[in-house]
Chain A
Amino acid sequence: MRPFANEPTLELRRAPVREALLAARRELEPRLPLRVPVLVGEERGADSGLESTDPGAPSRVVAAGGVASAADVDAAVRAAAEAFPRWSGRSAAQRAEVLVRAAAWLRERRLEAAALEVRECAKPWPEADADVCEAIDFLEYHARQAVELERGPQLLQVPGERNMMRYAPRGVVAAISPWNFPIAIPAGMVSAALAAGNSVVLKPAEQSPGCALLLVTALRAGGVPPGAISLLPGYGEAGAALVRHPGVHVIAFTGSSTVGLELVRAAAETPADQPHVKRVVSEMGGKNCVIVDSDADLDDAVPGIVQSAFVYAGQKCSAAARVLAHEAVADALIERLAGAVRVLQVGRAESFATEVPPVIEREAQERIEGYARTAREEGEVIAEVGEVPEGGWFVPPRLVASLPPGSRVLREEIFGPLLAVERCASIDAALDAMTESPFALTGGLFSRNPATVAKVARRAPVGNLYVNRHITGAMVGRQPFGGNRRSGTGSKAGGPDYLLQFVEPRVVTENTMRHGLVVE
């Protein structure tokens, strides 16, 4: 296998490339709505009961999915357990080949996949394309990592004794994925689990069944045995039943803190008939801070912060939520940020001009507006995009300030286009504000002093700290991604040790002495 390299994103600055995407979209249109069945091993189950709609035009149905029943969940876990011995029996290189073929399948359909994300999740084109690339990257990267992992670590060897350590797959992995990176995040969890030799049951978010089907189709087309990858479209109940199933060994989850913590609790129950302890790999929310030092270059900081906070309407767990500005630059920064927020382009995801698309659904819109009301009551809204289009779940981007320290706007994850600015007397004060938060996913720093950069890197508890750039858009192999504290269980998708989450170490020690002779 060639060494890993990130899949290049499309060069959208070229007009013909943009044309090709629009053509892919036109081709997709007549095929909608997609039908997304419950896929349990070889069986195709129900394909209605759940609908995903275009957040920019909610009356348009993008995919009609089945709703997995309790019986489907049970059947999927059994099918996975049945497929496990054969799948895990293949060598890592063989499994890697399968994943690389799945990546190739997806690569061939990358325009169609991006077009689907635009429609189903209102991801603007550059974001949709980046998501497809990231999915391809996960498949390619985890495939290579599995081959690496199979070699096992080196142990001390002494005469007359042979010590070997290897990593064995755990068994059945339940993957529960969100809608905001509708192909990449499930691809990351599923490919890691499969590469390491596990079989997988995927329960995608109810908002993005169409994208999940595309991923599962890619995996099966690449040669993953049907039993080793099942698809359970549905709502929360299906997910809850899946994580409680005693046949599940690992739960890989990305989503809200509420659900993530609930799942940690559920997984900890170990009924008598369950012969193992479940492991949970959980990526939860963030309340991500960007510190702006007095020597920061605001020409870089302003676009970097705006991009981090508002692209995809702030619906990324890595998005910037708080700006902690050194008081020496706070006035200038706030003025420029406000102006930059006012010119954000709010619109339908399919327009190349759009930076801030509609949010995913009505509840999200209402929730975010609720936070905006609180911000207005407790502080002030400094900038807001005046008019947003009608018809979709649009929320105007907002910049807020002057909030009391205890405000829920500063403490809770909003997951929408709302950014709060706070003034800090010093970098230490900013670090204190950052470390007081129970979240520790991403963070940012704009500073031109190497000493300050070193200090913040040492003290910031976040999983991913970005210096003098935007804080979103982690790349596989370059920015292994994941949060600490209440943001996650500390694993790093797309990093060199992610696969360890899906295996258990086994050590074999053999006595190689017989009657004084070493029989190696």
Chain B
Amino acid sequence: MAERSATAAPRADPEAELLRVGRALHEALPRPSRNPIEAVDRRAMELAAQDDRLRAALFRLVDVTPACRSLDDLAAHLASYLGEVERRPPPLETALRLSGSRAGRAALGAAAAAAVRHMAHRFIVGETPRGAMPTLRSLWVAGAAASVDLLGEATVTEAEADRYAERCADALDTLVEQSGRWPSRPVLERDSLGSLPRANLSVKVSALTPLLRPDAPELGRADAARRLRPLLRRARDAGAHVHIDMEAVDSLEATLSLVLELLDEEEFAEGPSAGLVLQAYLRESPRRLDQILEWAASSRRRPPLVVRLVKGAYWDHEVVEARQHGWPSPVFEVKAESDRNFEDLTRRLLDARPLLRVAIASHNLRSLSHAIAWNRVAGGRDEDLELQVLRGLGDHLMRALAAHGMRVRVYCPVGDLVAGMAYLVRRLLENTSNESFLYEQARGVPLEELLAPPG
């Protein structure tokens, strides 16, 4: 166990500590800004959250934008989607009227394209890693580390898998080279176990192989391993961190066994720093944590595995897929169960240190405060807990956490508009879901309720 800090003496009541942390973070959140663009954003999200059809129209527009051949084409699509919305707010009524003429369509198409680009910029930090560096640097200077995620189209061919692997290699090089010039930020670079790489790349297994198949996990695992191994070597030699994201449950078996087996290979015994993701919305997640802990206990690898705990980003997909097949749902179907499980897993992860390093990824003030409070109550040090947020969704939290002296890492997608659409739609979906914490917060639910135990 990490050496206990003298300043954070064990406190009896974790809920009380949680409230204290939650309030403090809340205090540090910037007030809703009067920036007109943000106001329009907020208004659009509100409208979308209130009307399912409008939300569908908005998402379909965002989704199709990069595939449209011209502004005229884009406007025609928009009109087609709006045609399916029953109660159209006045601005959309106007939009639909505009689409009746060629000139109107040009204006409408331009406005829609600009809006989508604007939204994309909120979530995506640049088209290329090099292009993203200024943003990453200013995040660092402001007290937040990053993990870069390379957006891309689905991988269905060998060539696409190879190209993704090359992009990852280039990104590692760029990150290592550029981040070396950043000023020192001790909070972001050390924990009680040692130093933490500045360069941090998140990698998706589904992009590393076209052969990922739920019923034959060994096939995709073997093919992805061919491409992941060189990346791990590069990261090891350059001193970068590689984090393997977790995707839909269809690829869980392949992803988990890929990571655990590769990291156990002799040549990776001393590095690189690497991590994987545990999804708390999965009913099987406690067992998966058992598996990870068993592995960590028996592995001779030196750098502790970093486990990023998330709730899970594919909830709708998993539920629909299970329904269509008549399978039991692999995910909890009540939000509070995911939240509660997230807290249980948080505690188990914190207790498992120093076998593991722990990163808690969420935009839920309760979930984050719980991790911070529990760590302190159990006598842990703040530096042995990392918090993570997504670019575009967790920007305010990031500032509050940094101000609170915590190590916070921002997940930063990089890529062009075409590649970024699937990601963008998922984030918008999350942002407008009636059950999401961010939506409740934006709706003005009182802080006490937001910080109450799930259930």
Known: A448-B77, A449-B76. A340 touches B153 (CB 8 A): no
Contact check, A297 vs B158: say whether CB atoms are below 8 A apart. no
Q: Which of B176-184, B209-217, B285-293, B300-308 forms contacts with chain A?
A: B209-217
Shortest Cβ distance from A355 into B: residue = B213
A298 interface hit (Cβ, 8 Å):
yes
Assess A125 versus B67: contact at CB under 8 Å? Given A13-B249, A295-B73, A299-B153: no
Of the candidate stretches A4-12, A65-73, A169-177, the one touching chain B is A4-12
Residue among A6, A11, A298 with the highest chain B CB neighbour number at 10 A: A11
Give A186 Cβ to nearest chain B Cβ, in Å: 23
Asked whether A299 and B154 contact (CB < 8 A) given A353-B213, A448-B67, the answer is yes
What CA separation (Å) do A201 and B278 show in the bound complex? 56
Q: Is B351 part of the contact surface with A, judged by Cβ < 8 Å?
A: no
Q: How far is the CA of A12 from the CA of B217 in the complex (A)?
A: 10
Q: Are B67 and A352 in contact (CB under 8 A)?
A: no
Q: Which residues of A contact B214 (CB under 8 A)?
A: 12-13
Question: Are B215 and A18 in contact, with the CB atoms below 8 A?
Answer: yes
Chain B residues near A323 (CB-CB < 8 A):
none
Find residues 207-259 in chain B having any chain A CB closer than 8 Å to their own CB: 210-211, 213-219, 249-250, 253
Within the assembled complex, what's the spacing in Å between the Cα atoms of A204 and B250? 37
Q: Counting chain A CB atoms within 10 Å of each CB, which of B76, B153, B156, B250 scores highest?
A: B156
Inter-subunit contact A9/B80 (CB<8 Å): no
B186 at the interface (CB under 8 A from A): no
| Residues 57 to 114 of chain B near chain A (Cβ within 8 Å) | 60, 63-64, 67-69, 73, 76-77, 80-81, 83-84
* Shortest Cβ gap from B329 to chain A (Å): 11
Flag if B156 contacts A353 (CB, 8 Å): no
Asked whether A449 and B77 contact (CB < 8 A) given A5-B326, A294-B69, A339-B156, the answer is yes
Question: B436 in the interface, Cβ–Cβ < 8 Å?
Answer: no
Write out the residue numbers on chain B whose beta carbons fall within 8 Å of the beta carbon of A11: 325, 327
Residues of A contacting B76 in the complex (Cβ-Cβ under 8 angstroms): 449, 451
Contacts of B210 in A (CB 8 A): 339-340, 343
- In the complex, the answer to whether B80 meets A449 with C-beta atoms within 8 Å is yes
B67 touches A297 (CB 8 A): yes
How many whole Å from B340's CB to the nearest CB in chain A?
25
Query: In whole angstroms, how far apart are the Cα atoms of A46 and B99 in the complex?
Result: 73
Q: Tell me which of A12, A13, A294 has the highest count of chain B C-beta atoms within 10 A of its own C-beta.
A: A13
Q: How far is the CA of A450 from the CA of B253 in the complex (A)?
A: 37
Contact of B157 among A13, A297, A340, A351 (CB under 8 A): A340
B16 is an interface residue with CB less than 8 A from chain A = no
Tell whether A302 is near chain B: CB-to-CB under 8 Å: yes
A13 contacts which chain B residues (CB < 8 A)? 214-215, 217, 249-250, 253
Q: Which of A12, A299, A351, A451 makes the CB contact (< 8 A) with B80?
A: A451
Interfacial chain B residues near A12, Cβ < 8 Å:
214-215
Q: Does A448 contact B216, Cβ atoms closer than 8 Å?
A: no
Min Cβ gap B225→A in Å is 15
Produce 1/0 per residue, A288-314, CB < 8 A to B.
000000111111001100100000000
Instruction: Take A294-B69, A299-B154 as given contacts and tell me if A448 and B215 are in contact as well, using a CB distance cutoff of 8 Å.
Output: no
Within the complex, which residue of B68, B153, B157, B217 is in contact with A343, where a contact is CB–CB below 8 Å? B157
- Whether A8 pairs with B73 at a CB distance below 8 angstroms is no
Q: Which residues of B contact A303 (CB under 8 A)?
A: 154, 156
> Do A7 and B215 touch across chains, with their CB atoms under 8 A apart?
no
Q: Are A450 and B326 in contact (CB under 8 A)?
A: no
B133 CB-CB contact with A under 8 Å: no
* B169 at the binding interface (Cβ < 8 Å): no
Contacts A8-B325, A9-B326 given: A340-B156 contact, CB under 8 Å?
yes
B77 touches A336 (CB 8 A): no
Q: How far is the CA of A69 from the CA of B409 in the complex (A)?
A: 78
CA distance A225 to B211 in the complex (A): 49
A15 at the interface (CB under 8 A from B): yes
Quick check: is A328 within 8 A (CB to CB) of the other chain?
yes
Q: Is the CB of A353 within 8 A of B219?
A: yes
Please tell me which one of the listed residues A296, A302, A342, A343 contacts residue B67 in the complex, with CB atoms under 8 A apart: A296
Q: Contact size class for A?
A: 35 or more
Query: Contacts A12-B215, A125-B215, A297-B63 given: A343-B158 contact, CB under 8 Å?
Result: yes
Quick check: is B160 within 8 A (CB to CB) of the other chain? yes
Closest A residue to B219 using CB positions: A353
Could you tell me if A8 and B327 are in contact, using CB atoms closer than 8 angstroms?
A: yes
Report which of B63, B153, B159 forms a contact with A298, defined as CB distance below 8 A.
B153
Give chain B nearest CB distance to A415 CB in angstroms: 25
A402 at the interface (CB under 8 A from B): no
- Are A336 and B156 in touch, CB under 8 angstroms? yes
B422 at interface by CB-CB < 8 Å? yes
Q: Which A residues are CB-close (under 8 A) to B84?
A: 450
Smallest CB separation, A385 vs chain B (Å): 12
Q: Is A345 at the interface (CB under 8 A from chain B)?
A: yes
Least distance between B72 CB and chain A CB atoms (Å): 13
- Please report the C-alpha to C-alpha distance between residue A11 and residue B330 in the assembled complex, in whole angstroms: 11
- The A-contacting residues of B in range 144-168, CB under 8 angstroms, are 153-154, 156-160
The minimal Cβ–Cβ distance linking A239 to chain B, given in whole angstroms, is: 36
B69 touches A342 (CB 8 A): no
Give the distance to chain A from B331, nearest Cβ to Cβ, in Å. Answer: 14
Whole-angstrom distance between the Cβ of A348 and the nearest chain B Cβ: 13
Partner of B160, one of A5, A126, A339, A450: A339
Q: How far is the CB of A23 from chain B (nearest CB, A)?
A: 16
User: Binary interface profile of B, 375-394, with partner A (CB < 8 Å = 1, else 0)?
Assistant: 00000000000000000000
Q: How far is the CA of A110 from the CA of B289 in the complex (A)?
A: 33
Alpha-carbon distance between A5 and B323 when the two chains are bound, in angstroms: 11
Query: With A and B bound together, what is the CA distance between A111 and B392 in angstroms?
Result: 49
Q: Are A339 and B215 in contact (CB under 8 A)?
A: no
Other than the given A13-B253, A295-B77, A297-B63, 9 more pairs (CB < 8 A) read A15-B253, A18-B215, A125-B215, A299-B156, A299-B422, A303-B154, A339-B210, A345-B211, A450-B81
Task: List 5 A-B pairs, Cβ < 8 Å.
Answer: A125-B215, A295-B64, A296-B67, A340-B157, A448-B60
Nearest 4 interchain pairs by C-beta: A339-B157, A8-B326, A13-B214, A12-B215
